[in-house]
Amino acid sequence: MRLDDERESSNVDDRRGSSGGFAGGFGRGVPSIGTIMFIWPLIRGLLKTKFGWALIAIGAVAYFSGFNPLSLVTQGSTSHTSSSKQDEKSAIFIKKVLASTEDVWSQVLPKYGIKYRAPQMVLFNGRTTSGCGIASANMGPFYCPADQKVYLDLSFFNELASRHNSPGDFAQAYVLAHEVGHHIQNMLGTLNKVQRLKQSWGGQNTVKSNALQVRVELQADCYAGVWGHYAQTKFHQLEPGDVEEAIQAAGSIGDDTLQKEAQGYVTPENFTHGTSKQRVEWFLRGFKTGNLKACNTFK
C-alpha cells in the first residue's frame, strides 16, 4: 500500500509492554514494569540475606550514579530489540491503515444517512482486558461491540505470513478492515439484531447460530472490500498485487481450509466464518461495487 505519506490514526490505545531497561534521554527514568517483573525473583532472593541487601544498596548507588546495573542481566536482549523495531514498524503501518478506514467510512456512510464514529484500536501483547472479557493473542484480532474497540496483537501478522502463507501489507490491512467492518455492522444495528435472534434460540441450536455467524463474518469481508474500493479509487493507496494479497489472506483463513489443516476433514456445521471461496467472493463483491447494499449476506 502507498501509505508512506499518510497520517497515523490517533484512535489507538497502545498497551504493548515495554521491552525492559530504562527510559533514554536526559532523565534516566525509572525501571519499567516489565523489567521489575523480570528481575523480581532475583530481588526476592537477595532480600533474604544481609549480603543480598548489600548488593541491592550497591546497585542503587550505581544506578543513581549513572550506571544501569540491570544491563548485566539484560545483555541478551539484542534480538528482542530487533524484534521490537519490526513490531514498531508494523504498528505504524496498521495505525495508518486505521486512518485510511476512518477517511473512507467518514465519506461513505453519510451517503447512507449515517455519521461515522470511528472505533478505537487496542494494540497489546499476549493478553489484555476488553469490554467482552479477556483478550488473548490466541484468539486473533477481534472487534468488541460492548466497548466499540478493535483488539490486535501484532504477532498475528507473523502467523498470517508464516502459517497461512499470506504475507504482504495489504493482507494485514484486510484483517483490520474486516474488524472495522464489524464496527460498521454495530453502527447499523446488525450485530444487535443477530445477538437477539441467537438469544431467542436459547443457545439450543448451535448449527443455526453458526450459520448465522457465517453471514455476519462474510458481510464484514464485504465491507472490507468496500473500504478497499474507495482506498483505491478515491485515495489511490493500493499498489499492484495488493488485491491478490487480500484474496490470498481471505482464502487461507476460510473455515474449510483451517479445518483441513487442523483435523484433515471438513465439518460444515461447525463453520463460523465461511469457506475460503465464500470469503474471497464477498470481499471481491465489496471491492468491485463499493456499495454497502451489495453486502447483504442475510438474503
Same-domain status, 95 and 214: yes
| 204 — pLDDT class (breaks 50, 70, 90) | confident
67 within some domain:
yes
pLDDT of residue 63 exceeding 80, the answer is no
26 within some domain:
no
Same-domain status, 43 and 142: no
Same-domain status, 118 and 144: yes
DSSP state letters, 164-189: S---SHHHHHHHHHHHHHHHHHHHHT
Render pLDDT for 27-45 as a digit per residue (tens, 0 to 9).
334 443 444 444 455 556 6
Residue ranges of E strands in the chain: 12-14, 120-123, 127-130, 133-136, 142-144, 149-152
Residues, the chain, total? 299
% pLDDT > 70, the chain: 79
Same-domain status, 45 and 126: no
Domain total of the chain: 2
pLDDT of residue 221 exceeding 90, the answer is yes
Render pLDDT for 78-114 as a digit per residue (tens, 0 to 9).
444 556 888 899 999 999 999 999 999 999 999 999 9
pTM of the model: 0.79
Same-domain status, 88 and 235: yes
Same-domain status, 148 and 63: no
Render pLDDT for 119-165 as a digit per residue (tens, 0 to 9).
999 999 999 999 999 999 999 999 999 999 999 999 999 999 999 99
pLDDT of residue 70 exceeding 60, the answer is no
Query: Domain range for residue 53?
Result: 33-73
123 within some domain:
yes
Same-domain status, 60 and 207: no
CA proximity to 179, closest of 234, 118, 125, 133 = 118
